[in-house]
Amino acid sequence: MTATRYPSLRIHCPCAEPVTDGQVAELDSATTSTSPDPAPETTTRLELPPSLESPFALHALNNLYFCDVCMVLRCERCVVEEVVQTYCPACLHVYSADTTGGANEPSKVTRKGRGDDATFCTRNCLQCPSCFTNLIMFSPSASEGSESSGTVYLQCPHCSWDSRRRPRSLTFSKHSSLYQQLRKISVSAMSDDYSDTSDQPTKRFSALSVFYQQLYESLDAEEEESGPSAPPSPLFSKRANRSLETIRFLKSHYSKQGGSSSASSPAVTPASVLSAFGRAGGVSSQKRREYEEREKERCVDYIDEEAEGEEALRVRGISSLDGTPTVLQQLANPFGRPTRSSDLLPLPTRLRARRAKRCRACRHILVRPDVSSRKVSSSSSSTSSIATGSASTVATAFRINLLSKNYIPTLRLTYLPSTSPAPASSPYHAGFIPHITYTFALTLFNPLYEPIKITLASPPRTPKHSHLITFLTPSFEIGPNIEDDWDLHALASLRTKFADLKISGMANISASPESARGGPNLGILDRGRNWTSVIFEVVPAKSRNSEIVVPLFVSVAYEAEVEKDFTAGGQVGGAGDGGLFDKERREMAFWSVLRIGRVIS
């Protein structure tokens, strides 16, 4: 939308990568500790996915889904969509709806009313052809407000386009089904523009037959001339031969039909055809010059005034674009491509769809809108909910909605001004000074009901400008998200804590009880019920105006309670603790990209 706001965090979806099983295993094992103290794990080399720098592979957390069967993130590009409901965005009338509720039942689409399979709203929703606003219906005879059966006209509430102000005034004979009326009008309008329609096919036919006749003759002549001396390249010869055959066939076909070869000027030379098949390379330079000359002729003679008629002449005479519709206006018109703004007809409104989304790998439903209500949302219910002060309205209801933020930890970055020469104000916008250690608190929130074990990993230096990154605690635990309330309280406490830190400086961090213990808790700044803050440091390298982009690998492991599968047969859940639930170890991992700011020199 605008320039990057710092800090920003985007999550990498690996769907752009050609991932093999081996690579997955490698990724899982690549939980390298980048801390300066010797890590207990074996230091395997951390490989960055190639698409980590591609914007299309990076997503905001809120744009991602999570497949809880595959245990992977799914982005817009790696879900399969299916239409659940189509509706008109203007009148919100539902045209078709898939009312089956079950997650994996085959969909049964019920059509409602006429206009099945419609792509346009078949009621009275028409759009302004010049500004795409919904048009309003007026009746000239009736007084305001009262129903009338007379003719109606349309007006745009935004640009004051008026259907009566066209050269051919456009009025509708009745109040209902304007779309059907518009279709009839547009068909007649089209035939008006090409009034000599009866004459058209024969004219076109004779023109085509002349063209192919000449093309064939010139090709024959050319083949005789440069046959053996310039053999066509073997790669293209087959295709060229086939095209020659086609042309021969067409020629014989048209000559049988009796096309008259009365036209004098050659319409198209074989040069373009030959060059399209790559044979132009085998032609001598002198011949090419001939071709070029003929090509020039072709361009001049291309517009055949008699054949193209009045419309082409008018277009040729246009000196300014006043009164000419924009490309957008032309393309929006489903009935044709009018070349005059005054010819534009109202546009039917295209239907919109509410879609369900499935995991591309396992077909598990990730998102399914609730379409039980006939309207997309009924305004009456929303008003009543306002009056009573109750919760959300039906429009945004989903039966299934597996959002990534309910499955993977959310991250927050807070700047900690230290006693070192780092400035006290936040460096995100002021910029970073090279060779100064900046300290941040990275807070991870656990959305799950189980405690999770986090392993962070990043290369010791950023790939592009080699800024130094240090995570003091690459591996730690976060408590469960037991109470499902807003983490605003947590955030508030975090705020005050960090505010204290800002006052007393970094000396407190090293003296805090968590880190004083040393060992695994070294570098843990603070922790709450379902969040943990860890320290991470950045030392910018001296490269002017370079962006500090930190690739961060987050791996999450936890033990989930799953219901014991008694149906699958005897020996499930051999742990023998007799409960209804089994512990199952689950792991997931993802790459993220943290943009912190720019370096000033």
Per CB under 8 A, residues contacting another protein are: 1, 5-9, 59-63, 65, 87, 89-92, 131-134, 136, 143-145, 156-159, 352, 367, 376-377, 379, 382-383, 385-387, 389, 391-393, 395-396, 398, 401, 403, 405, 410-414, 426, 428-429, 443, 486, 488, 491-492
Lookup: tokens for 369: 């809108």
Minimum CB–partner distance for residue 594 and another protein (Å): 9
Written as one string, the DSSP assignment of 138-203 is E-SSSPTTS---S-BEEE-TTT--BGGGSSS---BSSSS-HHHHHHHHHHHHHHHHTTTTTTHHHH
* Cα atoms in the 13 Å half-sphere on the side-chain side of 422: 25
Minimum CB–partner distance for residue 403 and another protein (Å): 5
Would you state the torsion angle of the CA atoms of residues 510, 516, 519, 525, taken in this order, to the nearest 10 degrees? -50
Residue 137 or 190 having the CB closest to another protein: 137
Separation between Cα atoms, residue 349 and residue 132, nearest integer Å: 9
Place of tokens 């078709």: 96
Minimum CB–partner distance for residue 10 and another protein (Å): 8
> Comparing C-alpha atoms, which of 551, 552, 557, 367 is closest to residue 446?
557
Residue 425 or 601 having the CB closest to another protein: 425
**Residue length of the chain:** 601
Minimum CB–partner distance for residue 216 and another protein (Å): 50
Residue 255 or 377 having the CB closest to another protein: 377
Residue 187 or 492 having the CB closest to another protein: 492
The b/e string for 182-196 (b: 16+ C-beta within 10 A; e otherwise) is bbebbeebeeeeeee
Strand partners, 120: 350
Distances in whole angstroms, Cα of residue 106 to Cα of each of 84, 101, 102, 300, 364: 12, 10, 9, 59, 13
Q: What are phi and psi of 89, to 5 degrees?
A: -70, -15
Residue 395 or 557 having the CB closest to another protein: 395
Minimum CB–partner distance for residue 7 and another protein (Å): 6
DSSP symbol at 433:
P
Strand partners, 72: 67
Residue 156 or 538 having the CB closest to another protein: 156
Query: Before 7, cis peptide (omega within 30)?
Result: yes
Minimum CB–partner distance for residue 400 and another protein (Å): 10
Residue 279 or 357 having the CB closest to another protein: 357
DSSP symbol at 277:
T
Minimum CB–partner distance for residue 522 and another protein (Å): 24
Minimum CB–partner distance for residue 174 and another protein (Å): 21
Three-class secondary structure of residue 539 per DSSP: strand
Residue 368 or 467 having the CB closest to another protein: 368
Residue 32 or 127 having the CB closest to another protein: 127
Minimum CB–partner distance for residue 281 and another protein (Å): 43
Contact 469, 459 (CB under 8 A): yes
Minimum CB–partner distance for residue 529 and another protein (Å): 18
Contact 467, 548 (CB under 8 A): yes
Residue 30 or 402 having the CB closest to another protein: 402
